[in-house]
Amino acid sequence: MRSRAHPEPIGTNPRPAGDADSSRNLAIDRLRGVLIILMVGGNYLSGIQAVPAFLKHAPDIGFTIADSVAPAFVFVIGLNFGPSLARRTRQGAGAAYRHFLRRYLALIGIGAVLSAGQTIVTGVSTDWGVLQAIGAAGLICLIVIRLPAWTRVLIGLLMLICYQYLLDAWALPAVLGSVQGGLFGTLSWGALLILSTAVAEAWRTGSGPYGIVCAALVLAAAISASIVPVSKVRVSLSFVLISLAISAIAFLLFDLAARVVAKRAGFLCWWGENPLTLYLLHLLVLGLFMLPPVAWWYAAAPLWLAAAQLVVILAAMSAVAWWLRGRRVAIGV
């Protein structure tokens, strides 16, 4: 079995003296960094009329580049979930589980505050958000994480099937009226995280088993897409399996690249080491561009102005990410 290095995925982690990256996996940090950058860019571009639809979230049925980011982030959480809990369990199972409970309840709480703030500012009622979905999925995954990988695969698939059946039977109006699938959609997000932890075990076993798993995911995704509509809004079974396949293949490429690219943290790792901080910061930064009641400044901005603003946003946030790294602090999800 090939040895892998896994960072602690949340909290404040002072880095050891010497090699700052000795305890982190660069492939994970780099992929997470790309996802945060895409999340910032996607959220900014979503309200600009001139931006083509394929760069925005699909309104319901369909799949775009933007739709792949959130599930890929959940996948990355799954890569670290088991090893992180196992490390903490060595100091006591009770303390380890309390730590994870606090972690994911805190995400739900932070998300609730953000949703309330968005409702106040925009006047549009928002009952759920990405942080609540991640937090609730983490709580679900915590229940089964110590079961064998094959058992988690069965549980994850059964959850997806049950969710899709209930969605088609009666829950669709409630899900479409919420965000990220709402509370009911948590069942599907939780299944995604559980399946991701099982895929992660194949990765830790070696490139051969992981490649086979990636191929199986592509096949499952293709079959599901021919049966069930693909929709992030609905968090449908096909959406989860397609997202999982894309995420697994993307991480395979990052993992292979990490073997040939310089073994030191770079620009992407700055972002990847502090996803929660940068996610919260980007909400404040985007407000500076979105809230002024001047159409040409944001909603009706030409593409050249939108591109210039996005460059400024990413540059400013990269400077913050670089500063946080200089302070030897990593805050993640």
Cβ-contact 306, 290 below 8 angstroms? no
pLDDT of residue 122: 65
Distance CA(5)–CA(250), nearest Å, equals 19
Total count of domains within the chain: 2
Do both 245 and 274 map to the same domain? no
- Where among 257, 286, 309 does a domain terminate? 257
pLDDT of residue 237: 97
With a CB cutoff of 8 Å and minimum separation 6, the contacts of 202 are 149, 209, 210, 212, 213
pLDDT of residue 126: 76
Domain encompassing residue 50: 1-56+264-333
Distance CA(117)–CA(111), nearest Å, equals 10
Structure tokens at 227: 């049966």
Do both 118 and 247 map to the same domain? yes
Structure tokens at 98: 């309390």
- Where among 257, 284, 302 does a domain terminate? 257
Do both 151 and 135 map to the same domain? yes
Do both 24 and 68 map to the same domain? no
138-152 per-residue burial string, b: 16 or more CB within 10 A, e: under 16: bbbbbebbeeebeeb
pLDDT tens, residue order, the chain (333 aa): 343 443 333 333 333 333 344 457 889 999 999 999 999 999 999 889 999 988 899 999 999 999 999 999 999 999 999 999 999 998 889 999 999 999 999 999 999 998 887 777 666 667 788 999 999 999 999 999 999 999 999 999 999 999 999 999 999 999 998 888 899 999 999 999 999 999 999 999 998 999 999 999 999 999 999 999 999 999 999 999 999 999 999 999 999 888 887 777 788 999 998 999 999 999 888 888 888 888 899 989 999 999 999 999 999 999 999 999 888 776 666
Do both 89 and 17 map to the same domain? no
Do both 207 and 118 map to the same domain? yes
pLDDT of residue 9: 36
Cβ-contact 2, 206 below 8 angstroms? yes
Do both 93 and 238 map to the same domain? yes
Do both 233 and 181 map to the same domain? yes
55-79 per-residue burial string, b: 16 or more CB within 10 A, e: under 16: ebbbeeebbbebbbbbbbbbbbbbb
Task: Indicate the pTM of the whole model.
Answer: 0.89
Structure tokens at 66: 């933007």
- Where among 208, 233, 257 does a domain terminate? 257
Do both 28 and 161 map to the same domain? no
Do both 49 and 178 map to the same domain? no
Do both 296 and 177 map to the same domain? no
DSSP SS3 for 61: strand
DSSP SS3 for 60: coil
Do both 24 and 123 map to the same domain? no
Q: How far apart are the first and last CA of the chain?
A: 27
Give the max Cα distance, the chain. Answer: 58
